[in-house]
Amino acid sequence: MKTRISVIGQGYVGLPLAVAAAEAGFLVTGIDIDETKVKSIQNGISLIEDVSSERLSKQINLGRYTASRDFSVVSDSNLILICVPTPLNLEQKPDLSYVLNSICEISKYLKQNTLVILESTVEPGTTRNIVLPAILRESNLNIDQVELAFSPERIDPSNKIWSLENTPKIVSGINDKSRKRALEFYSKFIKTVISCDSPEIAETAKLLENSFRLINISFINEISIFCDILGIDIHKVIAAAKTKPYGFMAFFPSLGAGGHCIPVDPIYLVNKSHEIGAPSNLIELAYKINKEMPRYFVNKAEEKIGMLRGKKVLVVGVSYKPNVADTRDTPVKHLIKELENKGALVSWHDDLVKEWKGEKSVTLSNNYDLAILATPHAYIDLTKLGDVPILNPRGSI
């Protein structure tokens, strides 16, 4: 008899996981509260780059995957995976509402011997001290009947080298049985699965990974400013440093880090640091530097073409990284706001995003005073800009 699983959340994390599990032979139901998304998936139309519609449709046609908004289907599941957002609230504090709402819904139908795996990024201690008590409170199970694991997602949209299947996966559980069941599950379709001694270790490891990236992205952006003032090419500096075979990892300048992980996850670590009285000065400084990068490039725009008031500025690419349509926490949002604060008449072009914040992508043309290459998608043909001056935050123009 095939194992039935439910995956809560069918976005950039949940849909690839659900489809990979279906391809491994599991019977999968993807659950999402977004009616439009569910209808699209039911029709075999994928809304994310990492899962083609053909790949999705194949699993639907084989009867291995279906999408639903009905949480009651988890009553037939042997495993339930939670892959929902964990953003920041308006006070820039961790927001666990999506996780807790999911726990509340699944707990109504949760049975003994059903393994629950949390993949959403959380503070250390959340799985054991918040999620477990919520399950006990909302379900009819006692602590000896609950099986709960934590395995943080490692998804990098549009990465052509590292996919869900070949990216090492860390796994932990509130007890040995939960951990071993999670290890067995992921091993069916992920090449390397690594056991952690506790959920707290795995939770902290996830935050370390993305805090490391934030710090180094912010650092290389400061070095880029330094090189700009000196009049040397930051990319040639990085290329020279990369020749060292140990102790160096290349990061590259940009408008700043965006997306669902790097601008958010480190704040979960900072929040926990404040709670327990541990230092987090370096992370907080990196976060500040990252937030200031759009303003720096607005100042560079003024250096390039003079006062921006009344000038027509085209922002090229608005997603948070090249070759994806994801605009979550994109630094371009702050860039456009700063440009408009200076009186610029701002338009944007991004044929992957198409529509954003109530506006539509414009075509590339020479009808602008300045173009800022915020997100260089592979399809973009800059020759269509003609003689429009270009400002490239990545430092190659």
What are the tokens at 160?
A: 């052509």
Q: Give dist(CA 387, CA 120) in Å, integer.
A: 46
Distances (CA, A) of 22 to 28, 131, 215: 6, 26, 37
Q: Give dist(CA 43, CA 23) in Å, integer.
A: 18
What are the tokens at 301?
A: 């725009």
> Is residue 179 within 8 Å of 173, Cβ to Cβ?
yes
Residue written as token pair 């869900």: 164
Torsion angle defined by CA atoms of residues 31, 34, 37 and 41, in that order, rounded to the nearest 10 degrees: 20
What are the tokens at 169?
A: 């996966």
Active-site residue, from 83, 196, 227, 261 = 261
Q: Give dist(CA 320, CA 257) in Å, integer.
A: 7
Cβ-Cβ contacts under 8 Å for 133 (sequence gap 6 or more): none
Torsion angle defined by CA atoms of residues 20, 22, 26 and 32, in that order, rounded to the nearest 10 degrees: 90
Q: Give dist(CA 337, CA 334) in Å, integer.
A: 5
> Is residue 30 within 8 Å of 41, Cβ to Cβ?
yes
For strands 312-316 and 193-195, give the pairing.
unpaired
Count CB atoms within 10 A of the CB of residue 161: 7
> Is the C-alpha dihedral spanning 80, 145, 86, 39 positive or negative?
positive
What are the tokens at 186?
A: 């992921």
Q: Is 83 a catalytic residue?
A: no
Q: Where are the beta strands (DSSP E) in 27-181?
A: 27-31, 65-68, 79-82, 115-118, 147-150, 169-173
Cβ-Cβ contacts under 8 Å for 226 (sequence gap 6 or more): none
> Is residue 125 within 8 Å of 117, Cβ to Cβ?
no
The residues carrying an active-site annotation are 261
